[in-house]
Structure 1
């Protein structure tokens, strides 16, 4: 196996749809070597080309990451010719990733039952708000709605304030991860049977899967988890604590032996033997006073001083990182967690690496998000065998 071989090389993915749910699935498959052909509307493209709080040289700073390693073709799926071309591309593919509203592809004659007639090995990854079945399937669904329905919005924030959101599009991204997992599971099954299948995941379901024991807690104890801010109730000490410079430092010493080591670092080893704090249950019952006690100690030190003491005593602890700390941190550098990729408009772009690391066939980033329709000639020429004159005519007709 050559150094440049990636584990999904030789697999072709056609990506339809836009935004994050679905396209992030395509990004992950592309990162590990799959050929991802992204279909975008002519002259418009994926809205993510425009999204983000900041732009540089007229280009979104979100697009280079989300669309990295992908090939872009333009195609009007609302036209009969466009759908025919899309169908031909899908016939050549191993995967189709789509995140239209449920039923949209069926209206275009491109539902799974139609597509598998000419490509029985096709694995169709369908990402939507509510899934492909059920009474809500026809409703429009965005990540924020799925997060609310799946339960994460209700428990995020502080108890004396309304529910808040996590600072990233967690619902969309989680759904894409589940879509990728489902696609690879289906690929493994296809190796046994030669047949593809449909992978169906709703945003609310991906979020729901992360909700730990919330359902049986309600079933057996009648308890609904509430917002708890920066702590987990009865898990102590595990919180953010103030420093002498006004910042915050995370300490997680909720196991008995680790709590003992924290007490030694604080110069109060006797606390570990105190009946109020000596067991997990006892510490949970005295969580607030324990956090107050630790805060009174940490506020006398800088984060750097606290980190040295915690490391010396074997206590899990650390800074709350922003990109500033990430780009300077030696562990990030040693693990190559952040890489630099050349971009035609932006120059050198720093972005997160491909995770997880594989020892023999790691993923990688060959290029950033492509220009709109950058690969029209190559894809339509090589796969659909269309000539330059045919492509020019299709462009005049608004098909590509």
Structure 2
């Protein structure tokens, strides 16, 4: 059995997912479901998925692709061709879940209306992901994670007070939408277990981000309060900030509970602040935020990160290091929990990436393989399982409707 087809006993073992998504939310839904044991067939363009051409490369090998395409079987099919559409229809006929994130209406233009697909496969769950959703005046607008982070109000609240709105370095909106999409299809699967019927799900990129924004909406609705940037401070919980240490590292502190704030003040030798009745509650401390933050910042600046955290742990202050990725790699807790998985890549050798989350005691989710180098690594195998003969596969490849990886065949892969 090849590496790309070995079985799993993960909690979603037995489910089949067809992933025709692109950068990044759609494919990440497939990744999450594959991590949990589903058989995920990634349908990429015969010229290769776009993720193969973004991010950083080692010796020409795309690293981000290794992450997003992990645990997936790869079938290179041009679904804009008649023969390619027939391949996708056969895949959908046998699938539990179909994930796509083209512009609204594009799949229907290619002949993949959910109403028609559901006649063929009544239990099919189809997840649409787009920038602004399948309805509304903005539905036709191009939507990427960056625009969702901006439109949702997230960027407006991120960054220092007197600095421009801050966008994250990584596509957070895509990741949040992917997690939302994954739980949405699992909810649809549960509903299907009751009546055998699938569902069509409409998920925008901006709405999951907006849903994470706490009380921002109700605060404006009831008080006309517009959330804005406060750096690492909070406008409802004080002290809450990042503080620079003597050795040029950073410590994060959170004191949402009043008892924690008192312990923090005592830990830095400021019993006067801990016992001040005018600082007993968060609303009171917000009014004197400069005084509170200044006392902590001055104390932290005179000590190393290790010294600061040792004092805070002893005092049961809610604090921790702000880690860069090098520190994450070296951290003993990360090692003990197996937060990073060690995988063997046939080209790159040993690779470490984030392991599957969460951890299951009985039906273990696991990393089985990384995103494969060859475009259409499993095209021939997938087509064969759909009933195509060797001659038909060769004809499809010759027409350009599919791409069959010659490299996989030569290297003893699944072809």
Aligned to 1:38: 42
The 1-side partners of 2:87 and 2:164 are apart by 48
Task: Return closer, same or farther for 1:112/1:4 CA change in 2, 3 Å cut-off.
Answer: closer
- Of the three residues 160, 166, 169, the one matched with 2:168 is 166
- Of the three residues 28, 34, 52, the one matched with 1:49 is 52
Q: Is the 8 A contact 2:237 2:255 kept in 1?
A: no
The 1-side partners of 2:183 and 2:242 are apart by 34
The 2-side partners of 1:271 and 1:254 are apart by 16
1:280 Cα offset (Å)? 2.0
Aligned to 1:20: 24
Q: Is the 8 A contact 1:74 1:372 kept in 2?
A: yes
Moved over 6 A (4+): none
Aligned pairs for 1:1-400 within 5 A: 5-42=9-46, 44-52=47-55, 54-370=56-372, 371-382=374-385, 384-400=386-402
Could you tell me the TM-score, scaled by structure 2's length? 0.93
| Range with bigger deviation, 254-263 or 354-363 | 254-263
SS in 2 for 1:154: helix
Q: How many residues align?
A: 395
1:233 Cα offset (Å)? 1.2
Aligned to 2:406: none
The 1-side partners of 2:168 and 2:73 are apart by 31
Q: Is the 8 A contact 1:235 1:287 kept in 2?
A: no
Q: Is the 8 A contact 2:150 2:167 kept in 1?
A: no
| Range with bigger deviation, 31-40 or 284-293 | 284-293
SS in 2 for 1:90: helix
- Identify unmatched segments of 5+ residues in structure 2: 1-6, 403-415
Superimposed CA distance per residue, residues 40-80 of structure 1 (whole angstroms, 9 cap, x where no aligned partner): 111x211111211x211211111111110001001111101
The 2-side partners of 1:50 and 1:37 are apart by 20
1:139 Cα offset (Å)? 1.8
Q: Is the 8 A contact 1:283 1:290 kept in 2?
A: yes
Q: Is the 8 A contact 1:120 1:195 kept in 2?
A: yes
